[in-house]
Amino acid sequence: MDGTIVDTEPYWIAAERALVEAHGGTWSHEQAMQLVGQSLTFSAGLLQQAGVDLEIRDIIDTLTGAVISSVQRQVPWRPGARELLEELHLAGVRCALVTMSEGPLARQVVASLPRPYFEVLVTGDTVTQGKPHPEAYLTAVEWLQEADPDLALHHCIALEDSVPGVTAAVASGVATVAVPHIVPLPEDERYTLWNSLAGRTVTDLESLLLAGPALRGRAGHAASWGTAGD
């Protein structure tokens, strides 16, 4: 969600910096980059190391509350995200939202969508192991399978923007599209690299599944010309 569908990373970074400074510390850009795509528990631990004298749960609640307030003022959509979601919805493609943000923030973002695009929401507070562990993606597939037992991992594609997210998706066994945003992602034969979701279609996603695992790396290389931005 964060960085792929909506550009909330600046909201998170601002909340982190405000919290650290409120406890007498400093928060650099490099420190903030270490948290992109990570679980909130992991992130809260690094904030404690930076001087935040609060329990993990209190840090998570403070950060999430600040980001929810920012999202309520403005939802910063990533280019092409809403358009692709709309096309997937009209094509009858079932979608799951897999995010390390917790339920309240994910529901706030989903509530701002014009349609119920996501049948399943897997959030950071519904799994025991966050990204880069594959549990969240495996959980999403399991929940989708409840309504369609014939659904398998090889029918699914994950769209991710961060190293922990891409690592989790690849480890789960689903085809993975990496759309880097704040943190660059290298070309890798294990996933397909797109510069943006702008102009991307259901046909583009279907072609990746039809290509099969052996060709996805090369397909990703060819697809990396996409419109700039995420």
> How does DSSP assign 178-207, residue by residue?
E--SSS-----TTSEE-S-STT--HHHHHH
What is the dihedral angle through the alpha carbons of 75, 79, 80, 86, rounded to the nearest 10 degrees? 10
Mean of per-residue pLDDT scores for the chain:
89
Placement of tokens 């519904």 in the chain:
126
Q: What is the pLDDT of residues 133-187, one digit of tens each?
A: 999 999 999 999 999 999 999 999 999 999 999 999 999 999 999 999 888 898 8
Superfamily of segment(s) 9-73: Putative phosphatase; domain 2 (1.10.150.240)
At residue 211, the pLDDT reads 83
Predicted TM-score (pTM) of this structure: 0.79
Q: What is the pLDDT of residues 51-65, one digit of tens each?
A: 999 999 999 999 999
Averaged over 100-111, what is the pLDDT? Answer: 91
Q: How many angstroms separate the CA atoms of 80 and 197, rounded?
A: 5
Letter string b/e over residues 95-115, b meaning 16 or more CB atoms within 10 A of that residue's CB:
bbbbbbbbeebbebbeeebee
18 and 50 Cβ atoms separated by less than 8 Å: no
CA–CA distance from 125 to each of 28, 156, 193, 199 (Å)? 27, 23, 29, 33
| The CATH classification of domain 81-223, taken from the options 3.40.50.1000, 3.20.20.120, 3.40.50.300, 3.20.20.140 | 3.40.50.1000
Averaged over 59-72, what is the pLDDT? Answer: 93
Taking the domains of the chain in order of start, what are their residue ranges?
Answer: 9-73, 81-223
What radius of gyration do the chain's Cα atoms show?
17
